[in-house]
Amino acid sequence: MRNLSIVVAAARNRCIGNKGEIPWHLPDDMAHFKWLTTRQPESTVVQGRKTYESIVEKLGKPLPKRKNIVLAREANFAAPGCIVAHSIEELETLLENEAGEVFVIGGGEIYKLLLPYATRIYYTLVNAEPEGDAFFPELDPSEWNIAYKAAFANRYDKSEHSATLILYERKGAVS
């Protein structure tokens, strides 16, 4: 499969969600996500069914200005405005001719499934340890280099939710 980039915001305990919700409010990180996934005209986002449904529930539509691919096991699953893949093999075929960067945007099962194909991870480490039911897989430090790391304070929530932006690159990967 072609090189994939993962975009994730995870707490110190690797929590990424709880009951379909993100357990923190970081507008700066959401703005960074939007910029990252729309800065190239041919950007593609790959998401699981639950992530797709959560986005459509909040926005009323799939993410704009990006090609949206939903990876779903259910054979009859339909996602208006998106392309649906039912297997990794089908996803691989869909991505063969993609010109822009392909971003995996969740959720937990999709991250776990596609992490072996990732060469880059845009990781927002949230300074929190919330309860959750969706988690990002643990990274093997022998497989990843930290290419960039910068802390940022959340301008909108001065309480506890600062974060660190980390760019991981897979060791030995060719971009």
CATH number of the domain encompassing residue 42? 3.40.430.10
Closest CA to 44 of 100, 96, 88: 100
Asked if residue 44 is part of any domain, the answer here is yes
Q: How far apart are CA 21 and CA 32, in angstroms?
A: 19
Residue 175: predicted pLDDT = 59
Residue 108: predicted pLDDT = 96
Predicted confidence band of residue 154 (pLDDT cuts 50, 70, 90): low
Residue 39: predicted pLDDT = 94
Asked if residue 147 is part of any domain, the answer here is yes
Asked if residue 175 is part of any domain, the answer here is no
Asked if residue 132 is part of any domain, the answer here is yes
pLDDT average, residue stretch 61-88? 96
Give 81's DSSP letter.
T
Range of weakest confidence among 3-7, 97-101, 153-157? 153-157
Pairing relationship of beta strands 83-85 and 118-126 according to DSSP bridges: unpaired
pLDDT average, residue stretch 115-126? 97
Asked if residue 133 is part of any domain, the answer here is yes
Q: How far apart are CA 69 and CA 44, in angstroms?
A: 7
Query: Has residue 157 got a pLDDT over 60?
Result: no
Range of the domain at 33: 4-170
Asked if residue 14 is part of any domain, the answer here is yes
> What's the structural domain count of the chain?
1
Asked if residue 164 is part of any domain, the answer here is yes
Tens-digit pLDDT profile for residues 33-59: 999 999 988 899 999 999 999 999 999
Asked if residue 97 is part of any domain, the answer here is yes
Residue 155: predicted pLDDT = 62
